[in-house]
Amino acid sequence: MEITARAPGMIILAGEHAVVHGYTAVASSIDLYTVVSLRLHLNEDSIRLQLEDVGLDFSWPIKRIKEVLSHLGSPFSSTPTLCSLETVKSITALVDEQSFPETRIGLASGVCAFLWLYTSILGFKPGTVIATSELPLGAALGSSAAYCVALSAALPAFSDSMKLDVNKWAFEEEKIIHGRPFGVDNSVSTFGSMTGIDSNMPLRMLITNTKVGRDTKALIANVSARKSRHPDAFKEWSTIIQSHTVDDLSVTANEDRLRELMEMNQGLLLSIGVTHASIETVLQTAMKHKLASKLTGAGGGGCWLTFTYLYPQLPGAIVDKLVKELESYGFQCFTARIGGKGVQISFDGCS
């Protein structure tokens, strides 16, 4: 039997740096997914991880894993315990035995998180896990959280107990990958929709990946040095998005207010020093088409959000023209629905 789980990526609509300082961010799932499939093997003696999108395939003999991680594997607990520094060192030793291309060395922590989760939940049962994703890596779209959540949803199906807190296990994986995550990414990927907001508004965004790498920790440190507060912004975002009115006049008014908020939000982000030349290119290109845009995530590169439309019957020709222009600069574009379902599990392809 094969188990498949898919988990959505996420974006931060507002408050990407405010959340670091204890304020609320408006975050939402998007309809771009990471999919993890798991199949156990009766006649093999290895644990295998295939990351298909990046062409990496890892395999560890069960005997070797037992030597290094003998303290894991049993008894299975529905509640995760902290992965200790000693355990991280032991898992890192196993991962270092694999051949990592220099350009993919940044994925090593994600492989460590997999080994910890697998042995914590399934012990030393041989099996193969295959991960694929529609999300670009390291682009502020929650790719690592979606990967962690999908793994945390799939693996328990073959354990002795299905009663597992997916979000808590995913958060522990995120700690292995990022050190001190805030828990927003994995929570949004697990539960879907928007954080703390009940919305029936079919909001869509154009997401532009600038393909520019950035040092998130350095950007956060720089912002902390000159942080700025805008306490009423979240309230206004929430009020607009939770609006259930659908007449033409209210739609137009909400669009105008959201555009204005995005422009204000981007202005604040610019003032705290997290912009980049590629981001300014996206901003100026969108402005030519009278569309509001802002960065998402830490900034300094990564991805960009462009507010396109609230309701699908509105014309998309302008967006199509914008996409072609942005792609001519070498950027990667996605259209995504904001909000929606969280993690989902299927058995042998049946939901």
Tell me if residue 185 is catalytic: yes
Choosing from 45, 53, 96, 185, which is the catalytic residue? 185
Q: Six-digit token pair at 257?
A: 């207010």
d(Cα 182, Cα 230) in Å, to the nearest integer?
20
Question: Of 344, 340, 343, which Cα lies nearest the Cα of 28?
Answer: 340
Question: Of 44, 53, 41, 47, which Cα lies nearest the Cα of 2?
Answer: 41
User: CA 180: distance to chain centroid?
Assistant: 15
Contact 303, 141 (CB under 8 A): yes
Sign, Cα dihedral of 231, 233, 238, 240: positive
58 phi/psi in degrees, rounded to 5:
-120, 145
**Preceding amide of 75 cis, omega within 30:** yes
Expressed in angstroms, the distance from the first to the final Cα of the chain is 14
Class of residue 265 by CB neighbours under 10 A (exposed 0-12, middle 13-18, buried 19+): buried
d(Cα 66, Cα 75) in Å, to the nearest integer?
14
Cα pseudo-dihedral 285, 261, 238, 34, rounded to 10 = 20
**Catalytic center residues:** 185
